[in-house]
Homo-oligomer: A and B are copies of this chain.
Amino acid sequence: MDLVGRKLDLRRGLVDLSHGAGGRAMARLIGDIFVAAFDNEMLRAGNDQSAFDVAGGRMVMTTDAYVVSPLFFPGGDIGLLAVNGTINDIAMAGATPLYMSASFVIEEGFPLADLQRIAQSMGAASRAAGVPIVTGDTKVVERGKADGVFISTACVGSAPAGVELSGDKARPGDAILLSGSIGDHGVAVMSRRQDLEFGTDVLSDTAALHGLVATMMTAGGASIRAMRDPTRGGLAATLNEIAHQSGVGARIDEAALPIKPQVAAACELLGLDPLNVANEGKLIAIVESGAAETILAAMRAHPLGAEAALIGKIVADDGRFVQMNTVFGGARIVDWLSGEQLPRIC
């Protein structure tokens, strides 16, 4: 859409209700901040939807809302999470992400400079991933009725014929692969919470995993039963979800879990189990045991899977329990996070 009227004051300006009212000010906000940052022809056309050509076959669709607090944290920001996280949900189906949408709920008074910084971060992530943001929407609510900005992204992708990964396909004997260290994102965000602030050099692991997944699919796609990114609720929640969907148990080895010493230390300080802490650039794959070594080697050859590990296996268990062999030689149940220890981590 054309720029209409005066430019925004991107250094000192604040979002006001007119920026969500459907008129001139909104057109300006969308043009100067979002269209400029996302920078693609489809968005520049200025319609309420975008069109693109696809090959026939299997398509995949996903959506996520992002409410992380604070909006900026070591290693990333809400915009980067929103792009990478939604791409990852497509990638976890073994699919190739193609196009994204983004919608914004912005609190009146939010600095335009911060909004631009977030939009630019999204634009850069979308270009790096090769997944353009082709359509969007902006709403503004009164001061005190939101918290800065909330972002919802949706993404569509295409899956190769015959690929139907699903959390209900885990079978006893399958291997559980994890692509790298756990807990980084959650610790990075919490280190900047006003009520908890502590020093750490841990960065969020936010990353788009579709390149890593493509490598894995090439190495042994037919042997991959399910993939999932252990975000909210951490590895514990993800394993419990798959155990419930598939009607199986899981047994993992604590000694095999990659955890950075700083993350382990921060979790101890905060009284958290790293298994419950969110990740934003990791995946687990449930694979046929015979193919585990081949797929693991492919993961390790990719920069985002350099620390990939075989962390355990799926077992028969009508109780659908996830258990962990501890470093002390015992075993314990790995339960879902029951409460609200970690709100707004993504």
Contact call A64/B339, Cβ cutoff below 8 A: no
Size of the A side of the interface (Cβ < 8 Å), in residues, is: 90
Contact call B338/A25, Cβ cutoff below 8 A: yes
List residues 11-35 of chain A with CB under 8 A from any CB of chain B: 16-18, 20-27
A296 interfacial by beta-carbon distance below 8 Å: no
A89 interfacial by beta-carbon distance below 8 Å: yes
Stretch at the interface among A54-62, A117-125, A310-318: A54-62
Q: Give me 20 A-to-B residue pairs in the complex whose CB atoms sit less than 8 angstroms apart, sorted by A's number.
A: A1-B244, A1-B245, A4-B244, A21-B337, A21-B340, A21-B343, A22-B237, A22-B278, A27-B336, A45-B168, A46-B241, A48-B62, A51-B59, A51-B93, A54-B59, A65-B152, A101-B154, A141-B343, A141-B344, A150-B150
A202 interfacial by beta-carbon distance below 8 Å: no
CB-CB under 8 A from A150, the residues of chain B are: 105, 139, 141, 146, 150
List residues 269-290 of chain A with CB under 8 A from any CB of chain B: 278
Q: How far is the CB of A153 from chain B (nearest CB, A)?
A: 8
Q: A97-139 toward B: CB 8 Å interface, digit per residue (1/0)?
A: 0010111110000000000000000000000000000111111
The answer to whether A58 and B49 touch (CB under 8 A), given A63-B136, A150-B105, A338-B25, is: no
The answer to whether A343 and B140 touch (CB under 8 A), given A24-B336, A135-B62, is: yes
A268 interfacial by beta-carbon distance below 8 Å: no
CB-CB under 8 A from A135, the residues of chain B are: 61-63
Q: How far is the CB of A115 from chain B (nearest CB, A)?
A: 14
CB-CB under 8 A from A156, the residues of chain B are: 59, 61, 156
CB-CB under 8 A from A95, the residues of chain B are: 49, 51
What 5 A-B pairs have minimum CB-CB distances, sorted nearest first? A22-B233, A22-B232, A56-B56, A17-B340, A152-B152
CB-CB under 8 A from A53, the residues of chain B are: 56-59
Q: Bound state CA distance, A213 and B164, in angstroms?
A: 34
